[in-house]
Amino acid sequence: MGLLNMRGYSQEYGGLLIKNMNTKTKLLFVYNVDSSVFAQISDAFKKVIAPATYECNLCMVTYGVVSMKGEWKEFLDASTFEKEFLHKDEFHQRYPEFKGVKLPAVFIINTNVITLLISSEEINLQGDIAGLKKLINSKFKFYE
């Protein structure tokens, strides 16, 4: 049953307090790019011209220049968890209390409780979709 015991008490995992996990659990993927058209165009050029300076490894690994990579889309479509995707500006507007968290990141949301699941540092260590999928599966299995 993951981190919940039979009475639904919270338990601590990896330094994060997990509260009352249930079937409404959702993964929130947050990109380290803004949602404006200018930002999107600028990021596409950076990805091609100067990939070493690109600031969003989640984008780099899961997207080509303009669209989501097929292997990543297949993984998401086959996954049983609910998912949401936000750009940095959208995330900070909705969750201002997390402005200090380095992005990109993946959060887990359960009954309006949001918790950091995968840090920027962990995402930045991933060089391909296979590594990212393995990381997500290893972290998320505790919540299923």
pLDDT greater than 90 at residue 117: yes
pLDDT at 116: 95
Mean pLDDT of 48-56: 76
pLDDT at 107: 96
pLDDT at 5: 28
More confident residue, 135 or 1: 135
Could you tell me which of 68, 46, 81 has the C-alpha nearest to residue 129?
68
More confident residue, 96 or 81: 96
Among 3-7, 51-55, 84-88, 137-141, the range of highest mean pLDDT: 84-88
Burial 66-81 (b: 16+ CB within 10 A, else e): eeeeeebeebbeeeee
Mean pLDDT of 123-136: 94
58-67 CB contacts, 8 Å cutoff, 24+ apart: 58/29, 58/30, 58/31, 58/32, 58/104, 58/106, 58/123, 58/132, 59/31, 59/32, 59/33, 59/104, 61/123, 61/126, 61/127, 61/128, 61/129, 61/131, 61/132, 62/129, 62/132
pLDDT at 143: 61
pLDDT at 23: 54
Domains and CATH numbers, the chain: 12-143 (3.40.30)
pLDDT greater than 70 at residue 22: no
More confident residue, 113 or 19: 113
Mean pLDDT of 39-52: 76
- Give the number of other Cβ atoms within 10 Å of residue 27's Cβ: 21
User: pTM for the whole thing?
Assistant: 0.77
